[in-house]
């Protein structure tokens, strides 16, 4: 809990730009607690050869297989992955999302073998955006292998992502 509070305070202290899907307002970044209870499944996501170390696009079908089957477990978080992940909710028209994209590419390469870095296009995968109540973007979900996922809002700088990875995702 101490680590979650520390990371929450770190994110809350930064004023970050984001795009709103509804009215274009700017938002202050911060982590929020997810609604569902958390458990971990033992399934391992299968990645095509060469995808590890790269940002991986998710559709609803791949999200259900690799992250969380919310249709089967609507009231309980059951992570399907074998290692922590980051999920970047974005849209092609969003300028702050374009600022985050190269950071996600760098993080995928730098943390290859330790975490997965996923992207979800909120304009294509509207249902996934609704499941997580994504109303402004970029929005990044930090999903530890065990424990509760946490959401950040806005275009965070790379050092903040690195700190969150090290303090939320790679904690043993």
**Catalytic machinery residues:** 94, 97
Q: What is the DSSP string of 120-167?
A: EETTT-HHHHHHTT--EESEEEEE-SSS--EEEES---HHHHHHHIII
Give the phi and the psi of residue 89 in degrees, each rounded to 5. -85, 125
Strand-pair partners of 50: none
16 vs 125: CA distance, rounded Å: 24
Residue 153 phi/psi, 5° resolution?
Answer: -125, 135
Given the DSSP bridges, would you call strands 76-79 and 19-20 parallel, antiparallel or unpaired? unpaired
């Amino acid at each position: 809990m101490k680590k979650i509070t520390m990371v929450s305070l770190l994110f809350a202290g930064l004023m970050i730009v984001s795009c709103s899907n509804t009215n274009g307002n700017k938002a202050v970044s911060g982590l929020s607690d997810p609604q569902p209870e958390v458990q971990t499944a033992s399934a391992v996501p299968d990645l095509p050869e060469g995808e590890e170390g790269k940002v991986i696009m998710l559709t609803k079908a791949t999200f259900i297989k690799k992250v969380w089957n919310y249709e089967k477990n609507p009231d309980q978080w059951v992570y399907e992955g074998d290692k922590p992940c980051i999920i970047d909710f974005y849209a092609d028209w969003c300028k702050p999302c374009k600022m985050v994209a190269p950071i996600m590419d760098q993080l995928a390469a730098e943390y290859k073998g330790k975490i997965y870095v996923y992207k979800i296009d909120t304009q294509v995968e509207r249902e996934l955006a609704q499941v997580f109540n994504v109303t402004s973007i970029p929005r990044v979900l930090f999903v530890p292998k065990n424990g509760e996922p946490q959401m950040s809002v806005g275009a965070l700088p790379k050092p903040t992502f690195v700190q969150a990875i090290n303090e939320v995702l790679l904690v043993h």
